[in-house]
Amino acid sequence: MLTLLSLVLVLALGLLQPTPVCALTGQQIAFALQAELSSGSEVVLTSNTSAYPAKNFTPRYNIATPPTYTVAVKPALAVDVQKVVQYALHNNASFLATGSGHGYSTSLDRLQAGIDLDLGFFNSIEIDTVAKTMTIGGSVSSNDLASALQAAGMEATLGQCGCIGYPGASLGGGIGPYSGLYGPMSDSLLSAEIITGRGQLLNVSSTQHPDLFYGLKGAGFNFGVATSLTYRIYPATNGGNAMLAQMIFPGALNQSVWQIVSNFTASNQPKELAIGLDARYVAAMGGMVVMANFIYIGPQSAGMKVIQPFLDLKPANLNISTVAWADIPFKAFYGGIAEGGCTAGAYYVPHSLNLYQIDVPNLVEVFNYMNKTLATNEVLQGVAIAMQQYAQYGFQLQDAKTSAWPYRDVVSFVQIDGVATNPSQLPAVGKYGRKIRDRLHHGSGRKDLQTYVHFANGNESPAALYSAAKLPGLRALKREYDPARLFSWYNPI
């Protein structure tokens, strides 16, 4: 229970989340929005199950802790988005913008009976190979973008999963195999059209509202809805092809794998190399294994030389090929990310942390603990550790002061994936995932938990997600651009 003092402090710091106190019924909201929005927009009651989400609306990837809605709106134009935001502001209604629906933080279920502001009509892609820029709508998927860029002979940082919304990902940073070259997606953002929590439609860049531009690059979903975004893009490296090497190490080799991985940290990792590791229990292989996925942005022969120490361990299921850059999300981890990450309706409990070192003894200890505890518990075998290690080069290209993105010195972005097959398993999967995260934290190299915002559970402190150093500035921005805290349902600051 809050004491009076803590209540005063909480109010003073602006930490209270808005609660949906809208007194209007779904019908009233739908009626009002239908009257206001342009004819190309769609407004439906979510109780109409033949229209929602089936017809044209974006389903949610993770349904373990989803937000719920009474009304769904699909605006056709930026001014329609503006009208929805202004309507919410003046009528004390709650809404959440939906890009590609892949946000999975447990914080999302604090929004109940709100308005789903589906950005599905904002799906345009314009590529200018001369200016080396692309301008995209607020919900463009990473896959659609990758095909368009590949066809144009260009590239950019993309995530591992092709079904995520590119704008949604980049508003929180956005990391992937090409981050070693270009940093997080947010570093390539040049400008955005955004409707803020005050209901203003602003064009934001390093010269227009530079304070908000800083906030958009790493904490963007806290301030408004981005309807159009322009990014820098890059000529395709190696003719648009990369080496993809996939392999599986039996559990007995885990220590050797961590040891080699530890040699690649900091400046030792070539900027062309992305290391993906997945430690999981595979009953058919007799226990815990480490699946490894290496992407080398260059010729296969050069990539193989770089990963030779791993090949020397003689892994099983070795599969090395040259793939088109845009196909990486479909093929990485034996196609598992595309299959699991693009099917909406998952029961998923996320946990995550950043590692600032590879602590070999701690990783071995956690691996052995999982091997022992999972052997007798089939339900928990859906919990796995996924580690993404990108070269520091790309993250160091821009000064930390240029954006809200706080994690330029992370060695490995770790997710403890918790996949359940039905809702009754969620509490056990969540408890075990948290235990693994806490054990990994002992070897993270930082006393306080630090977590990449898009991989977060939602139970972390804002300082863990946005960094203690950047949080006060972001809260000041929040007061300026979203004083009513309309944008506070997803890992809020």
Binding site for ligand FAD (CB under 6 A): 61, 96-104, 119, 138, 159-161, 164-165, 167-169, 171, 174-176, 221, 225-226, 341, 454, 490
Shortest Å, Cβ 95 to ligand FAD:
9
**C-beta closer to ligand FAD: residue 43 or 328:** 328
Shortest Å, Cβ 373 to ligand FAD:
25
User: Are 75 and 37 within 8 A, CB to CB?
Assistant: yes
**C-beta closer to ligand FAD: residue 54 or 252:** 54
**C-beta closer to ligand FAD: residue 102 or 359:** 102
Shortest Å, Cβ 224 to ligand FAD:
6
Residues belonging to the chain: 493
Residue that the structure tokens 């339900």 belong to: 379
**C-beta closer to ligand FAD: residue 44 or 360:** 44
User: Are 426 and 64 within 8 A, CB to CB?
Assistant: yes
Shortest Å, Cβ 485 to ligand FAD:
13
User: Are 173 and 407 within 8 A, CB to CB?
Assistant: yes
Structure token pair of residue 80: 């329609």
**C-beta closer to ligand FAD: residue 296 or 390:** 390
Structure token pair of residue 125: 């892609």
Shortest Å, Cβ 286 to ligand FAD:
28
Shortest Å, Cβ 360 to ligand FAD:
25
User: Are 75 and 81 within 8 A, CB to CB?
Assistant: yes
Alpha carbon distances (Å) from 375 to 286, 316, 328, 349, 433: 9, 21, 32, 20, 16
Using CA atoms, how far apart are residues 106 and 65, in angstroms rounded to an integer? 6
Residue that the structure tokens 């389903």 belong to: 59
**C-beta closer to ligand FAD: residue 195 or 360:** 195
Shortest Å, Cβ 301 to ligand FAD:
27
Using CA atoms, how far apart are residues 269 and 294, in angstroms rounded to an integer? 12
Q: Which long-range contacts (CB under 8 A, 24 or more apart) does 176-179 make?
A: 176/274, 177/242, 177/274, 177/276, 177/295, 177/297, 177/328, 177/332, 177/390, 178/274, 178/297, 178/394, 179/274, 179/390, 179/394, 179/395
The torsion angle over the Cα atoms of residues 309, 314, 317 and 319, rounded to 10 degrees, is 40
**C-beta closer to ligand FAD: residue 98 or 425:** 98
Shortest Å, Cβ 461 to ligand FAD:
18
Shortest Å, Cβ 61 to ligand FAD:
5
**C-beta closer to ligand FAD: residue 167 or 215:** 167
Report the side by side order of strands in the sheet with 69-74: 42-45, 69-74, 114-118, 95-98
User: Are 380 and 372 within 8 A, CB to CB?
Assistant: no
Sequence-separated (6 or more) residues with CB below 8 Å from residue 10: 2, 16
**C-beta closer to ligand FAD: residue 254 or 457:** 457
